[in-house]
């Protein structure tokens, strides 16, 4: 039976920061050309990583604000078109080519973003100002996030649990005084959220015009030092001082032999249940403002989550704790209707995880790089795929397919027995073909695999803090020849839309 939320289709995974552009890190200015190329290639799905502000080491999976957009993605060219910057102001110094240079980009771009926000705030005649004023009054979460970030700046970047007690515990008089004293930076924060949403709304409209659906990504956890934990600490497993006694992670798996010590605060699921999971409803509703469907990260944590003592040397010291189960998804369905979610059901998956995914009615994930590590019963092998699933050659957490091939010689015989003759030159496209041929309703390929790139193009190495998220496409890499080849493949396997 066809899932109306997920028709048979093909997609490409690439985050905006990986796109070419003039300011050191890819941004929304490069998205229209990408969407046009996807449409030319017959590809109807674009998958992105989380669009929230990144946390430590530029990771978008530990955000300081679950509802905010990453304003560093705002295209300066769009602000020029809106009359908030002039062309001379955005003449960039030379940026290094290749990988993203986050520090140089922020040093150049953030002052310009603030300048544009200030002009929007203070120019009462600007045509966008009425929209901003309406946004300011309607989007209460943005005002609260702005206050959090303004206070953190005022406190020298200290985490909120180190703030003066009256602010840490959100005493009403202290908050009112802070709102009055910090009106300007709060308005600036909200103005930038307004501009981010405005640019993204145009992108989403252009994608719809081209017949391209956008799949987003929702991290299961937020950062400990976040507006979410500060505003509603009662929804997290925190002590009176705002400190977690146990934190998030995962046990040993195929990504990390010692497990992964994430360090995020854990949810107080009974408290969230008493509140009818309103925090999750608001989070998903906000995410669906930007995307058509959402890959929900670390789905197995909703069945049971790995809780690690905060002072443990590594994640192997953790233990399983019961998650919210189907009650969360029933609440989301009650408030939001049909759930356009994809369950990232990877890692240590047991019968309870499978049962929860099936009861929630969500497609799971099949990753071809995981298919050849053992025997014919491996659930990632194509003969075990089901229509209600999403197949990937690899994800942002995997090496590229070429990188995987070069570092997995022990799997070569099984791969060749299943796929026929392949080598380092042909393996990437062969896995792309295999994904497109799958009965899974959606096939998604990281753009690195379309280009046959090696591990120099890897996006993330789980368990390693530094050096991730910085890979970028070379200008002109997505050309007409590759689009034609991909379009032919999509037509061959009934994925052309």
Tens digit of pLDDT at every position of the chain (497 positions):
457 789 999 999 999 999 999 999 999 999 999 999 999 999 999 999 999 999 989 999 989 999 999 999 999 999 999 999 999 999 888 887 789 999 999 999 999 999 999 999 999 999 999 999 999 999 999 999 999 999 999 999 999 999 999 999 999 999 999 999 999 999 999 999 999 999 999 999 999 999 999 999 999 999 999 999 999 999 999 999 999 989 999 998 776 788 889 999 999 999 999 999 999 999 999 999 999 999 999 999 999 999 999 999 999 999 999 999 999 999 999 999 999 999 999 988 999 999 999 999 999 999 999 999 999 999 999 999 999 999 999 999 999 999 999 999 999 999 999 999 999 999 999 999 999 999 999 999 999 999 999 999 999 998 788 889 999 999 999 999 999 999 999 999 999 98
| Number of folded domains that form the chain | 1
Residue 160 counted as domain residue:
no
Residue 195 counted as domain residue:
no
Integer Cα distance of 281 and 205 in angstroms: 24
Instruction: Please give the model's pTM, rounded to 2 decimal places.
Output: 0.96
Residue 181 counted as domain residue:
no
Integer Cα distance of 203 and 207 in angstroms: 6
What does the pLDDT look like over 59-90, one tens digit per residue?
999 899 999 999 999 999 999 999 999 999 99
Residue 112 counted as domain residue:
no
**Which candidate in 217, 223, 297, 388 is catalytic?**
297
Q: Among this protein's residues, is 36 annotated catalytic? A: no
Residue 163 counted as domain residue:
no
Task: Dig out the tokens for 83 from the structure.
Answer: 């009359």
Which of 360, 56, 111 is closest to 226 using CA atoms? 56
Q: Among this protein's residues, is 234 annotated catalytic? A: no
Residue 126 counted as domain residue:
no
Q: Among this protein's residues, is 197 annotated catalytic? A: no
Integer Cα distance of 277 and 328 in angstroms: 7
Q: Let me know how long the chain is.
A: 497
Beta strands 293-296 and 213-218 are parallel
CATH number at residue 337: 3.20.20.80
**Burial of 476 (C-beta count, 10 Å sphere; 0-12/13-18/19+):** exposed
Residue 400 counted as domain residue:
yes
**Which candidate in 101, 223, 345, 397 is catalytic?**
397
Integer Cα distance of 372 and 292 in angstroms: 32
List all residues 6 or more positions away from 91 whose beta carbon is below 8 Å from its beta carbon.
none
Instruction: Please list the residues that pair with 238 across neighbouring strands.
Output: 244
Query: Which residues span the domain enclosing 312?
Result: 9-70+201-492
**Which candidate in 144, 344, 399, 449 is catalytic?**
344
Residue 335 counted as domain residue:
yes
């Amino acid at each position: 039976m066809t899932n109306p939320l997920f028709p048979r289709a093909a997609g490409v995974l690439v985050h905006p920061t990986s796109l070419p552009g003039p300011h050191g890190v890819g941004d929304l200015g490069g998205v229209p050309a990408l969407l046009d190329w996807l449409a030319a290639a017959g590809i109807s799905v674009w998958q992105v990583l989380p669009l929230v502000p990144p946390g430590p080491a530029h990771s978008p999976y530990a955000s300081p604000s679950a509802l905010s957009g990453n304003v560093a993605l705002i295209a300066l060219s769009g602000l020029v078109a809106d009359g908030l910057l002039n062309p001379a102001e955005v003449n960039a110094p030379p940026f290094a080519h290749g990988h993203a240079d986050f520090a140089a980009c922020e040093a150049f771009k953030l002052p310009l973003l603030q300048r544009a926000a200030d002009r929007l705030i203070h120019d009462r005649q600007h045509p966008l100002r009425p929209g901003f004023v309406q946004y300011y009054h309607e989007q209460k979460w943005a005002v609260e996030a702005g206050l959090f970030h303004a206070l953190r700046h005022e406190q020298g970047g200290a985490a909120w649990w180190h703030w003066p007690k009256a602010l840490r515990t959100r005493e009403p008089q202290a908050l009112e005084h802070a709102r009055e004293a910090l009106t300007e930076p709060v308005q600036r924060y909200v103005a930038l959220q307004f501009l981010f949403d405005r640019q993204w709304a145009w992108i989403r409209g252009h994608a719809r015009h081209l017949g391209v659906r956008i799949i987003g990504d929702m991290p299961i956890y937020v950062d400990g030092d976040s507006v979410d934990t500060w505003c509603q600490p009662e929804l997290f497993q925190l002590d009176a001082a705002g400190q977690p006694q146990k934190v998030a992670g995962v046990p040993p798996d195929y990504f990390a032999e010692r497990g992964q010590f994430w360090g995020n605060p854990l949810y107080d699921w009974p408290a969230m249940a008493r509140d009818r999971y309103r925090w999750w409803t608001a989070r998903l509703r906000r995410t669906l403002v930007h995307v058509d469907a959402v890959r929900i990260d670390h789905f197995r944590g909703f069945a049971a989550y790995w809780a690690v003592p905060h002072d443990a040397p590594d994640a192997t010291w953790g233990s399983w704790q019961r998650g919210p189960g189907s009650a969360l998804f029933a609440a989301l369905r009650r408030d939001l209707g049909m759930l356009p979610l994809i369950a990232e059901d990877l890692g240590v998956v047991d019968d309870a995880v499978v049962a929860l995914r099936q009861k929630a009615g969500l497609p799971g994930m099949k990753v071809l790089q995981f298919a050849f590590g053992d025997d014919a019963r491996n659930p990632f092998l194509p003969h075990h795929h089901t229509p209600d699933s999403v197949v990937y050659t690899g994800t942002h957490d995997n090496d590229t397919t070429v990188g995987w091939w070069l570092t997995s010689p022990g799997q070569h015989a099984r791969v060749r027995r299943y796929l026929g003759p392949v080598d380092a030159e042909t393996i990437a496209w062969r896995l792309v073909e295999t994904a497109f041929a799958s009965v899974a309703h959606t096939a998604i390929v990281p753009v690195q695999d379309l280009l046959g790139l090696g591990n120099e193009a890897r996006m993330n190495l789980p368990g390693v803090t530094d050096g991730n998220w910085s890979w970028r496409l070379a200008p002109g890499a997505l050309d007409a020849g590759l689009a034609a080849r991909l379009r032919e493949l999509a037509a061959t396997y009934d994925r052309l839309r």
